[in-house]
């Protein structure tokens, strides 16, 4: 199967490689000519056979809107656009409507896997019309982890990104819980091997998880996270999750508190935020701020 892929950064570049390893043809475009297969979006579209499938993997907001607008002028009826970035689900509905007028299909895909996706596969939460989603199953199957799990057609347009947003909100709360526990263990005098306490939780406990494994990785690199500044960004999806909870009158005290804890990191060198920053770097390759 052929796929056009726009955006070859930390995730997009690895996604191109994983899809190619599954035997599909991927033509990638990026503003960086060193990683791009073509020189322009027009050339990318020209090299694809109809019906074309073009996956957009660029930052949410203006960048995604600009690319989708340009694709709307380049593609033809019967083609399909997939937005795999972290777009807000309400934008999906607008994109689907604008492209639909031109006979172009639209699918939104929430993608989780970060810098580990090439090796482990990507969890995919997909929204869109069944006919458009089914056409793309070979690509989804190439990207997902091996085995029966890791892919879901979550519902109509917007359902994929909404599901990924909630996933990220849960991720906020889980990371915050690990960070708070780590700080408390570091604080008391009776515990003198916090890293090994975390390591002991990796088997046989109800709180074992991949995030816990990544926390141990981070502590192996810097046992007390002394080289990190206690500052962690919020990607936007945590905010959107809380806003959606308010709109739907759904109580989310843990997720909301974890979002506000990120804001606390703007004010001082928070020990908890050192762990949050370390975890974000481990699973997503997100930048950290070093001391000094």
Selection from 55, 42, 114, 123 nearest residue 83 by Cα: 55
pTM for the full predicted model: 0.88
Residues with a known catalytic role = 164, 171
Angle (CA) 134-135-140 rounded to 5° is: 75
Percent of the chain at pLDDT exceeding 90: 85
The answer to whether residue 235 scores a pLDDT higher than 80 is no
Classify the C-alpha dihedral 93-99-101-106 as positive or negative.
negative
The per-residue pLDDT for 266 is: 78
**Alpha helix stretches (DSSP H) within the chain:** 10-21, 41-47, 62-74, 89-100, 117-120, 130-135, 137-143, 159-187, 194-200, 210-221, 237-247, 253-264, 271-284
Classify the C-alpha dihedral 84-87-88-91 as positive or negative.
negative
Distance CA 277, CA 260 (A): 15
Q: What is the 3-state secondary structure (H, E, C) of 129-166?
A: CHHHHHHCHHHHHHHCCCCCCCEEEEECCCHHHHHHHH
246 Cβ neighbours under 8 A, 6+ residues apart: none
Band (pLDDT 50/70/90 cuts) for residue 141 is very high
The dihedral region occupied by 79, where left means phi > 0, alpha psi between -120 and 50, and beta the remainder, is: beta
185-201 pLDDT tens trace: 999 999 999 999 999 99
The residue whose two tokens read 């002394």 is 226
Tell me phi and psi for residue 182, to 5 degrees. Answer: -65, -45
Q: Would you give the DSSP letter of residue 283?
A: H
15-70 pLDDT tens trace: 999 999 999 999 999 999 999 999 999 999 999 999 999 999 999 999 999 999 99
Mean pLDDT of 227-234: 87
85, 165, 184 from 63: Cα distances, Å: 10, 19, 41
The DSSP element (H or E) to which 116 belongs, if any, is: none
What value does the mean pLDDT of the chain take?
A: 95
């Amino acid at each position: 199967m052929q796929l056009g892929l726009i955006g070859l950064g930390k995730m997009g570049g690895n996604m191109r490689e994983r899809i190619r390893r599954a035997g599909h043809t991927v033509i990638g475009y990026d503003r960086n000519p060193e990683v791009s297969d073509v020189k322009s979006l027009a050339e990318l579209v020209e090299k694809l056979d109809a019906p074309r499938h073009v996956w957009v993997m660029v930052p949410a907001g203006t960048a995604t809107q600009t690319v989708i607008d340009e694709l709307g002028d380049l593609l033809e009826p019967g083609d399909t656009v997939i937005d795999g970035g972290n777009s807000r689900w309400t934008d999906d509905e607008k994109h689907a409507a604008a492209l639909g007028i031109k006979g172009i299909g639209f699918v939104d895909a929430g993608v989780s896997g970060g810098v580990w996706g090439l090796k482990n596969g990507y969890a995919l939460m997909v929204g869109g019309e069944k006919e458009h989603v089914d056409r793309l199953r070979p690509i989804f199957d190439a990207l997902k982890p091996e085995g029966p799990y890791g892919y879901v057609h979550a519902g109509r347009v917007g359902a994929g990104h909404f599901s990924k947003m909630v996933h990220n909100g849960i991720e906020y709360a889980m990371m915050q819980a690990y960070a708070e526990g780590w700080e408390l263990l570091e604080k008391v005098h009776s515990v003198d091997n916090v890293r090994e306490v975390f390591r002991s939780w990796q088997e046989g406990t109800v709180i074992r998880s991949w995030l816990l494994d990544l926390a141990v990785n981070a502590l192996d690199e810097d046992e007390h996270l002394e080289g990190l500044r206690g500052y962690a960004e919020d990607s936007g999806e945590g905010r959107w999750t809380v806003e959606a909870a308010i709109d739907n009158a759904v109580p989310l005290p843990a997720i909301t508190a974890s979002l506000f804890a990120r804001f606390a990191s703007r004010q001082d060198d928070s020990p908890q935020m050192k762990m949050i920053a370390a975890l974000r770097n481990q699973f997503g390759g997100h930048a950290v701020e070093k001391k000094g």
